[in-house]
């Protein structure tokens, strides 16, 4: 029976913005060279962010640690060389010149993976972009085009109470964050 080598988590440093492509390429290379059994997991920590563009909510995934890819593997023999030879891979985090890649400590792994789990659990993580007294323009709904000032911010419901002048009278409107933009 072959000895089962323990697999540790390592961090691959890569060119920022190319993480997903590099991750796929590393896996393809390792599989092609017959070392797939040495790699348990490889992931690019992502977070869900909500961007507001033209008044529309756009859910996007953003790389949480730009330039870093986590890999759980038994990095022995040829594997570190295979990974380093992949285009856009800079090397391993924490390695010394000519030394072996340094595995992450369990606490670090748990913290990073905990963060990854947390990021996949929480969706709509919008920072409250508005504050009381701020002037805003209504960009959606029946009062589109009106300007007003924010009286209240209700974080729980993600609503704003905006005072708008309609026919010379101040009128309170309850609007969602998506229905207004800063002036």
Per-residue tens of pLDDT for the chain, all 183 residues: 444 568 999 999 999 999 999 999 999 999 999 999 999 999 988 877 777 777 777 777 888 889 999 999 998 888 899 999 999 999 998 877 767 788 888 888 888 777 766 655 555 555 667 889 999 999 988 889 999 999 998 877 778 999 998 888 999 999 988 888 888
User: Is the domain of 24 the same as that of 97?
Assistant: yes
pLDDT at 162: 94
User: Is the domain of 86 the same as that of 31?
Assistant: yes
CB 157 within 8 A of CB 169: no
Main-chain dihedrals φ then ψ at residue 176, nearest 5 degrees: -85, 165
The model's pTM: 0.59
Residue-range definition of the domain harbouring residue 174: 135-182
Residue appearing with tokens 């323990």: 6
pLDDT at 151: 94
- 34 vs 26: CA distance, rounded Å: 12
- 30 vs 73: CA distance, rounded Å: 11
- 118 vs 101: CA distance, rounded Å: 27
User: Is the domain of 23 the same as that of 96?
Assistant: yes
The encoded tokens of residue 106 equal 């369990």
The C-alpha angle 153, 64, 157, rounded to 5 degrees, equals 20
User: Is the domain of 19 the same as that of 62?
Assistant: yes
pLDDT at 98: 67
Q: Is residue 66 part of a domain?
A: yes
pLDDT at 2: 47
**CATH assignment at residue 171:** 2.30.30.30
């Amino acid at each position: 029976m072959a000895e089962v080598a323990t697999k540790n988590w390592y961090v691959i440093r890569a060119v920022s913005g190319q993480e997903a492509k590099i991750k796929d390429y590393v896996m393809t290379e390792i599989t092609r060279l017959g070392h797939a059994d040495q790699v348990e997991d490889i992931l690019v920590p992502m977070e869900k962010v909500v961007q507001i563009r033209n008044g529309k909510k756009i859910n996007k995934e953003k790389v949480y640690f730009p330039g870093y890819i986590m890999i759980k593997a038994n990095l022995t023999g040829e594997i570190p060389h295979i990974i380093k030879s992949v285009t856009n891979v800079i090397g391993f985090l924490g390695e010394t010149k000519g030394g072996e890649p340094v595995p992450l400590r369990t606490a670090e792994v748990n913290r990073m993976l905990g963060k990854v789990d947390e990021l996949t659990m929480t969706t709509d993580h919008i920072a409250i972009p508005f504050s009381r007294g701020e002037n805003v323009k209504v960009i959606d709904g029946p009062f589109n085009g009106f300007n007003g000032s924010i009286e209240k911010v209700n974080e729980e419901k993600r609503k704003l109470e905006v005072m708008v002048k309609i026919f010379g009278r101040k009128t309170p409107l309850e609007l969602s964050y998506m229905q207004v933009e800063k002036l």
